[in-house]
Amino acid sequence: SQQGEEDPQALSIQEGENATMNCSYKTSINNLQWYRQNSGRGLVHLILIRSNEREKHSGRLRVTLDTSKKSSSLLITASRAADTASYFCATDPYNTDKLIFGTGTRLQVFP
């Protein structure tokens, strides 16, 4: 399979704590994206980081990318119960015009 690997598969934290999810991939990429999925719903794009970028912020989200290690992390700071969802990384490999999705991390944030 060309899918990326995400860890952990599941994460449970209390409100106010930070949540970190990791993604590893296999091929050279144009960019890496993170998506969020509420239970049974469609995926929603959160943030995109280009292959020539190392870190990117958007509100409470911080994404890092290490192309030498073919890995990325998503940090959600000061988590809220509403952040409860599954989070997927997706890579946009060179010369494929397709996204490759990871298997996702299920985040549960307890009030």
Give me the residues that bind other proteins (CB under 8 A), please: 2-3, 30-31, 33, 35, 40-45, 48, 50-52, 88, 90, 92, 97-99, 101-104
Q: Tell how strand 105-110 and strand 10-14 pair up.
A: parallel
Q: What is the nearest approach in angstroms of other proteins to the Cβ of residue 42?
A: 4
Nearest residue (CB) to other proteins, 95 versus 111 = 95
Q: What is the nearest approach in angstroms of other proteins to the Cβ of residue 83?
A: 19
Q: What is the nearest approach in angstroms of other proteins to the Cβ of residue 89?
A: 10
